[in-house]
Amino acid sequence: MTSPPVALVTGANRGLGSEVCRQLAARGLTVLLGSRDLEAGTVAAKRLGVRVQSLDVTDPAGIHHARDQIAEEYGRLDVLVNNAGIFGNAVDGDLDDIRATFAVNLFGAWQTTVAFEPLLRAGGHGRVVNVSSGVGSFGTPEGISNPRPVPPAYPVSKAALNALTVRLAVEWRHTGILVNAACPGFIATFPGAEKLGARPIPEGAASVVWAATLPDDGPSGGLFRDGQPLPW
Ligand code: NAP
């Protein structure tokens, strides 16, 4: 590859995604900062010195338009970070809220990945990172069977995203594309989070960047935090 790898990060106008863009750009990648709000994305991209890409992961036509723009300009995509996510707050099992959460956290990542598959294949060394969470695991203390009351939509959507990660990794095992899920840990992306024990955003972003910059013989189909495997 002669030109720098091209990376697209969804939901990157703020929070973790924004910092992932900063770290990938610092490593020399060409970074496209995905944002559903073009104005907010443009401000963030200018601040970081990267490109903005208009992208709402719940809008199939918009995803295909973004894919066509990137195909025309770069001819490939080397790194796709499915970072866009929402927490949802359906403690009472409100199905509209549950569907809205899945629309971003699962189907958003799914349809974005499928749309970009040809471009990920084109470079021959594609990396897909699904930004997931230990709360979607069956094997972590904070995971699915955690007895504390939590709105169920978010952890269940992340468990489904984890399953999608495994499935895609299996299906694409001969393509050179590595597909992994990365948990940033509990990070300080909302006011007051530090007081609750959240760690700094750059640490969480580094956990994602690790999976986005794996060598060709790196793992595929795993869930990782800080480069270490987490149980499913
Ligand atoms: P955040 O600060 O709430 O940022 C979420 C980002 O996703 C925003 O840029 C938001 O855009 C974007 N987004 C939401 N819906 C979208 C859509 N339909 N299309 C495109 N972008 C959309 O969240 P965060 O804390 O940085 O979390 C980022 C990722 O890390 C999420 O997947 C989250 O589940 C995961 N995670 C976070 C933590 C944590 O402790 N924070 C822990 C584990 C995993 P707008 O600005 O337009 O709303």
What are 73-119's pLDDT values in tens digits? 999 999 999 999 999 876 667 899 999 999 999 999 999 999 999 99
User: The tokens of 207 are what?
Assistant: 């956990």
Contact 33, 50 (CB under 8 A): yes
Residue 155 CA, ligand 1 centroid: distance in Å: 14
H-helix or E-strand containing 180?
strand 178-182
Q: Which of 116, 154, 172, 224 is catalytic?
A: 154
Q: Give the closest residue (by CA) to ligand 1 atom 32.
A: 85
pLDDT in tens, 39-81: 999 999 999 999 999 999 999 999 999 999 999 999 999 999 9
Q: d(Cα 156, Cα 45) in Å, to the nearest integer?
A: 32
Q: Which residues have C-beta within 8 Å of that of residue 94, sequence separation ≥ 6?
A: none
pLDDT in tens, 151-163: 899 999 999 999 9
CA-based angle 123:127:128, to the nearest 5?
Answer: 125
Helix, strand, coil shares of the chain as percentages rounded to 5?
45, 15, 40
Residue 131 CA, ligand 1 centroid: distance in Å: 9
Mean pLDDT of the chain: 96
Strand segments (E) across 143-222: 178-182
DSSP secondary structure string, 118-154?
Answer: HHHHHHS--EEEEE--GGG-SSSTTSTT--S---SHH
Q: Give the closest residue (by CA) to ligand 1 atom 41.
A: 187
Q: Is 74 a catalytic residue?
A: no
In the prediction, which pLDDT does 2 show? 77
Residue 59 CA, ligand 1 centroid: distance in Å: 16
Q: Is 225 in the pocket of ligand 1 (CB under 6 A)?
A: no
Q: Is 57 helix (H, G, I), strand (E, B) or coil?
A: coil
Query: How many whole angstroms from its chain centre is CA 49?
Result: 20
Q: Give the closest residue (by CA) to ligand 1 atom 23.
A: 15
User: The tokens of 140 are what?
Assistant: 């972590």
Q: What is the pTM of this model?
A: 0.97
Residues in the chain: 232
Q: Is 178 in the pocket of ligand 1 (CB under 6 A)?
A: no
